Amino acid sequence: MKALVWHGKEDVRYDTVSDPGIEEPRDAIIKVTSCAICGSDLHLFHNLIPAILPGDVLGHEAMGEVVEVGSGASHALSKGDRVVIPFTISCGECDQCRRGNYSVCQCTNRKKELAEKIFGHPTAGLFGYTHLTGGYPGGQAEYLRVPFADTTHLKVPDGIPDEQLLFLSDILPTGWQAAVQCDIEPGDIVAVWGCGPVGQMAIRSAILLGAEQVVAIDCVPERLSMAAAAGAVPIDFMNESVIDRLNELSGGEGPHKCIDAIGTESHVSFSQPDTVLDRAKQMMLMENDRPHVLREMIYVCRPAGIISIVGVYTGLIDKVPMGIAMNKGLTWRMAQAHVQRWTPDLLRRIEEGQIDPSFVITHKVDLSQGPEMYRVFRDKQDSCIKVVLQP
């Protein structure tokens, strides 16, 4: 089959690889009909996340049709079923899964020893996201082996196009969880850093969940326009002070809730000197992430506010003002999305027409164009916001 394979930093190739097969009774094989490049794939593209190896198949946003089912998954899946595959692989049986914490499933990371050494305790297996999370081949391919398939799928109805359903695999539940983690109450001002696909989903989720005002922070005009179209107040951080503008919008009190939809690779600019220092440290392997957004959120957030983090961080960060966070009584909430916790409700909302997440798609191309699209997405060329690939 054809697949997008990571060969090294900035080197993703459209390779021919061997077909996956059923390995465990709970496996299923799906024929991928649509998959997408996620912003967090760019961290892999840039080799910022440890434990990715040359030869790894990328991709954790995929959907398709079941073509083969193991004996242990046949009670839940049949050939021909149309499914969206959550990026978090979950067993559905462990203590964490029973609590709904699917992204920290205790059973599905097949490289537990490695993850325990790095994280202290293992987290769930993820598709196409390094060997710290199991080293499972990803979904930017013609076929995908789905482990624990009986509990790692969302059946979706015919009649709704892939474009509206695909993002149930990651960015829609991630954006939704970012807003849910904020415990939004009437009158809340919610500030969202990053207007990429996850940020866009978070903005709309915060509006749906009743925020009085949502403020969107980015520097890419088309992304800010997309946020403004949803009703958010845009702030272009290259042209105005985020702190001043947020204080102005909130009567000097700061936003009640702050969402980080950026993570490790915040924009580097001489107008934000800490980002230049972070980038220099990152190049010299002295720091893993560029936490400018965290610093800004802690500083501007209203005391007793909530900081919700869904942007991916990879390791060690410097100069985060923990003293300010503690003294202001800020609550931090963060996680890889517990996808399966949210998808039944989100699918219902899609079916009812409340949400149509396909609005973020700017590029829909053949899988063979994947290597080029990684560059286009990374460089934000051609107003690129979200790339959908079709094998």
What residues make contact with other proteins under the rule CB under 8 A? 1-3, 5, 7-21, 23, 45-46, 53-57, 110, 131, 135, 137, 141, 145, 268, 279, 283-284, 362-366, 368-369, 371-376, 381-382
Between 231 and 371, whose beta carbon lies closer to other proteins? 371
CB of 239 to other proteins, least distance (A): 23
CB of 76 to other proteins, least distance (A): 21
CB of 18 to other proteins, least distance (A): 5
CB of 373 to other proteins, least distance (A): 8
Cβ contact 199:218 at 8 Å: yes
Between 331 and 368, whose beta carbon lies closer to other proteins? 368
CB of 366 to other proteins, least distance (A): 7
Between 216 and 373, whose beta carbon lies closer to other proteins? 373
Strand-strand pairing, 189-193 and 213-218: parallel
Max CA distance (Å), the chain = 61
DSSP 290: B
Between 12 and 192, whose beta carbon lies closer to other proteins? 12
**Amino acid identity, residue 98?**
R
Nearest to 261 by CA among 38, 59, 48, 89: 38
Q: How far apart are CA 125 and CA 134, in angstroms?
A: 5
Cβ contact 136:329 at 8 Å: no
Residue 271 CA: distances (Å) to CA of 249, 277, 317, 358: 22, 12, 20, 34
Beta-bridged to residue 364, according to DSSP, are: 388
CB of 33 to other proteins, least distance (A): 18
Tokens standing for residue 61 = 């946003």
Between 127 and 167, whose beta carbon lies closer to other proteins? 127
> What distance lies between CA 85 and its chain's CA centroid?
14
CB of 202 to other proteins, least distance (A): 25
Between 21 and 161, whose beta carbon lies closer to other proteins? 21
Between 95 and 382, whose beta carbon lies closer to other proteins? 382
Between 45 and 176, whose beta carbon lies closer to other proteins? 45
Residue 34 CA: distances (Å) to CA of 31, 309, 346: 9, 27, 19
Q: How far apart are CA 176 and CA 172, in angstroms?
A: 6
Tokens standing for residue 211 = 């925020």
Q: How far apart are CA 3 and CA 1, in angstroms?
A: 7
CB of 16 to other proteins, least distance (A): 5
